[in-house]
Structure 1
Amino acid sequence: MLEKKDISLEKAVLIGVITKEQDEDKSKEYLDELEFLTFTAGGYAVKRFTQKMDMPNPKTFIGTGKMDDVRRYIEENDITTAIFDDELSAAQERNISKILNVKVLDRTNLILDIFAQRAQTSYARTQVELAQCEYLLPRLRGMWTHLERQKGGIGMRGPGETEIETDRRIVRDKIALLKEKIKTIDKQMAVQRGNRGAMVRVALVGYTNVGKSTLMNVISKSDVFAENKLFATLDTTVRKVVIQNLPFLLSDTVGFIRKLPTQLVDSFKSTLDEVREADLLLHVVDISHPNFEEHIDSVNKILGEIKSSDKPTIMVFNKIDAYQPEPYKEEDLEIERSSEHYSLEEWKKTWMNKIGNNALFISALNKENLEDFKKRVYDEVREIHITRFPYNHFLYPDYDDTM
């Protein structure tokens, strides 16, 4: 649970379910992440509600008894927002809003709202607006019945607030217009990428809040915005980096997350093109997170969706300074030790056995093991460069760690 309790933050309750596919531990982990998303969006999670069920209720997501508990708590504690951990259907959202009489958001809406806050360039804002419109379209029916009591705040930025009076035809027209605008910008960005010439391209990818922007700042000596919140970076940043005398292009891309809204994957196509067109991926992982291996799986899944899973990849395990294994208690001696008790050295051996020298362990913040990182990246970029320009291989000798 987050410690910060700022009176300016919007008070919210979080609601999730425990199912056969999502056990109690998994549900808790998702709600931890939802709480961090809520805080990033400008809210504070006051209480969590979970319910064990075979599958979410098609009408109200959770059962009627649990919904009554949520309603009573909201009324007694002056809660303004209810946030559900999974995407709600239009019908579920309408039904729940009538029962709870407060603003109802789901994980997708929350992520879209954070993107709306974080979008800095007109291109990013256009991408977010398109995703919001596509999310809004099937939910227009019944919005008039509950939106009049929503006074802004989390989930209310963009078309959710400004397009209340529109009908489906106008929203569809807006979607078509935004798609055309994005198509035009995509062509311009494709030309820009083409104008970069044949320089080797390296892309930082990874789960959100794993330290990609911090690593970008350290390696490129630039000043990319980095913050301990989810989705601190939306716009792709590309920098020319030189390690020793070898130049290449390094791009910092938007972080991935589990249950990433399909609308965002589609609308951020050009941002993800930086990944598609990269020669080398640096998959950054927060090894201090207790479920980092699942984060790896989530990122790999999205890389597969954008047809980039077969690219040369170096796994960069970041935040080794913050890694703390779960203490092993005497009463646990008879229980088989699980991965949560692994020391950092054991994790290193585990991953070195899996992928050999394609695993690196660093702290971008404290600049630990950065020489190993630079050498590995240099060697990989050099190999790609020599393959591309075999006639000037003599320009780039082996990495010299005395420089």
Structure 2
Amino acid sequence: MSKNIRKHSSDENSGDMRLFAIKTLKMTEEILTSITKMHPQWRHLVSAVDHRVDRALAILRPQAIADHRSLLALLGWPPALSVIASPHSDARSANQVLNPLQSMQADHKLKYSENFLALCNLQELQRKRKSRQLVGHDREVALRQPLWAIEELVNPLSLASQKHFSKWVDKPEFIFTLVFKITRDYVDSLDEMLQPLVDEAKVVGYSCREEWISAMVTSLCTYLAKEVFPSYITQLDEESVTGVQSSARISWLHLIDLMIAFDKRIISMVEHSGILLSLDDDILQRVSSLSVFCDRPDWLNLWAEIELGDALDKLKPDTENESNWKKKIESVVLSTCTDDHKSPLVSSAFVRRLASIVERCRSLPSVTLRSKFLRLVGVPIIRKFFDSILLRCQEAEGLTALT
């Protein structure tokens, strides 16, 4: 089979041959699945056939991807980003950017559909093979992959975007704005055009809308992890060595603010399609820029350290203000409560700061990250409040003893 694939790869009918090869491999997989269930003792025979199929797929997939990329370039993808990438572009000029896939001629549209279906069929074939081979294991983790055909749309867009990102080192808000604009401007048209092809290929459990958004967010996360965060960490390291405070910590917190705001807009876009993110941390991680912390717990620790330092600095004036310990919180209380039972005004400052920390950590895309962040930031703030109360009580006891 491998020899036949090589022989016809340069032929003008390579597309038809590829579809025929994929169809043959799918039939082979159905037979292997049946044999595995009915004759488990034939595992050596199945393994030998699997080896041959793997060799064929090792040729088919690169060829299909190469042809798909060539066709995308011929169609003018990725679209020009010069208009929407400009921080001074208005809504009218941004809306004038057309999707090249929507203006395809009939022959190009047919060719693109064939290539798209070939990639989807190959991916579904691989999913079925992995599902059979991983029986008895945690298959969900291994089987879930981004949709290849959507990745091929996002990758060249990501490379084109990075040329603009490099100009905005000191203006990261432009980076998030551009990624959101691209995601929003093309999500509806791609979903309308490509979802029927995904359904036709019978790729189970994939939504073009979700895959497009997820792939765009993933490309942003990759850039943040490779370029932005390392740069900020270098600045923080220099600050710790020289002992001279710079704007590195402020820049870090500003970046987190931008990520939180971006994620809220993206999540709103996803929920508009009817996906319940609150019930699935896996989906949430794929559409959250804060998922960069999933693979870098050391960065989460650093963020928590900076966040805690910022919170304590902001609480310091409230804690040192004597009037905040003497004034009581004005609120409606039960008639049985006396003035002595009311909290001092300083407690409201700590509550507000804790509420702010809790609100910020809500944006983290997993329960584990949220729990860890609260332990690293929230617990020390509560401890600081208790220590302040203890100090006040000890001072009061000392004054009482003197009198």
User: Which has the larger share of strand?
Assistant: 1
* TM-score, structure 2 as length reference: 0.28
User: Which has the larger share of helix?
Assistant: 2
* TM-score, structure 1 as length reference: 0.28
